[in-house]
Amino acid sequence: MVYKNYKDLKLSALGFGAMRLPTADGNPDAPIDEKKTADMVAYAIAHGVNYFDTAYGYHDGNSEVVMGKVLGEYPRDSFYLATKFPGYDLANMDKVEAIFEEQLKKCNVDYFDFYLFHNVYEKNIEPYMDRKYGIMDYLMKQKENGRIRHLGFSAHGRYDTMKRFLQAYGDRMEFCQIQLNYLDWKLQDAKAKVELLREYNIPVWVMEPLRGGRLASLSPKNEEKLKALRPDEKIPAWGFRFLQSVPEVTMVLSGMSSMEQMKENIATFAEDKPVTDEEMETLMEVTDSMLDILPCTACRYCTAHCPQKLDIPTLLALYNEVRFANGLITHMAVEAMPEDKRPHACIGCQSCEAVCPQQLEIAKAMADFTEKLNQPAGL
């Protein structure tokens, strides 16, 4: 197992994410299979994994319970446990103390090694920063009392939202968990987010290293490109090798739901094999081939001519994401916007298109975006 130094700790470079634990019949909505989970944890610990990440809402609240029960069979100082305050649900903002105490009981521990503000994004940044809820004050108090060893945050929000949070609390944040993989390096501009965190000297924790499994298998043409570079490297491993090439990355979390995935990932992290410049160039070619992106350059000529005053560049960036994967995070980002600033507010006048240097069909994109948002969101 590759290890990374973090302060005075030695963390396994691969962390066990407990959002997609094995379930009784393979149905993600079914109860967690505790026996399979215990077997996977045992294998992980035996092969050097020492970081386990759960959250209040994972598996309808049962992930913390099961992980607490399973990890309770091991000495407390033999693993590091992370969980999160569920601020993605605004109804929880005035319940930080009650929820934190509940989490300690559910996880069967006296302290958390790592604790996070869960999913800082456009809709919850104001409540997270509102002193009347006292969330930061309470969590800092728990840190002073030794019940939180390291405090950080996870973020699915846009760059500007992360920057606002860091401007307010960057001096107190010890790590940040973001969605990072070679696809989102471009699609979600994760590269810029990594650079922002570097400015604050905040190490990066990675979630969705394989984009929810989308990078575990590629088109035959793309797989052939990668096999030509490393014939023995498995396709999912390329996602991890990319991350091993980003110096700011300390922890890579993988939501493993089977022993087979666990064994493959641990085998990958038996060594550190970052990609070469040539390989990185090929990975970016693979990324480009997967993206059908409207090439908005955010020049903002369009916004000055929009009678609805829509933030068209931001909407197009979100539209590009929803075209690739109609996921819950994109829906949440749109729902965080005022009702009259969402894509359905476009009246199709095409004033924006008249001044667009890229000659984008913006009105058509807004109509399609609205239709996609009316469809059920995936994970």
Q: How confident is the model at residue 261 (pLDDT cuts 50, 70, 90)?
A: very high
Can you name the residues that pair with 154 across neighbouring β-strands?
A: 177
User: Which has the closest alpha carbon to 29: 37, 38, 21, 41?
Assistant: 21
Does the structure show a pLDDT above 80 at 25?
no
Alpha helices (runs of H) in 269-305, residue ranges in sequence order: 277-290, 301-305
pLDDT in tens, 295-335: 787 888 899 899 999 999 999 989 988 887 777 888 888 99
- Report pLDDT for 379: 53
Q: Would you say residue 54 has pLDDT above 70?
A: yes
Residues 6+ apart with CB under 8 A from 324: 187, 290, 291, 292
**83 touches 56 (CB < 8 A):** yes
Please list the alpha-helical segments (H only) found in 18-90: 34-46, 62-71
Residue whose token pair is 């396709």: 235
CA 184, CA 66: separation in Å to the nearest integer? 31
Tell me the DSSP string of 100-116: HHHHHHHHT-S-EEEEE
Joined tokens for residue 47: 């092969």
Look at the chain and count its residues: 379
On the question of pLDDT at 157 being above 90, the answer is no
pLDDT bin (cut points 50, 70, 90) of residue 32 is: very high
The H or E element spanning position 268 is helix 259-268
* Side-chain half-sphere exposure of 307, counting CA atoms within 13 A: 7
What is the rounded average pLDDT for all residues in the chain? Answer: 93
pLDDT at 249 over 80: yes
User: Which carries the bigger pLDDT value, residue 359 or residue 229?
Assistant: 229
- Render the burial of 205-214: b for 16+ CB within 10 Å, e for the rest: bbbbbbbbee
CB 266 within 8 Å of CB 258? no
Is the Cβ–Cβ distance between 293 and 321 less than 8 Å? no
Task: Say yes or no to pLDDT of 99 above 80.
Answer: yes
- What was the pLDDT predicted at 204? 98
Quickly state the pLDDT bin for 149 (edges 50, 70, 90).
very high
DSSP labels, 178-227: EE-STTHHHHT-HHHHHHHHHHTT-PEEEE-TTGGGTTSS--HHHHHHHH
**pLDDT tens-digit map of 66-89:** 999 999 999 999 999 999 999 989
CA distance 102 to 100: 5
Segment 234-250 shows an average pLDDT of 96
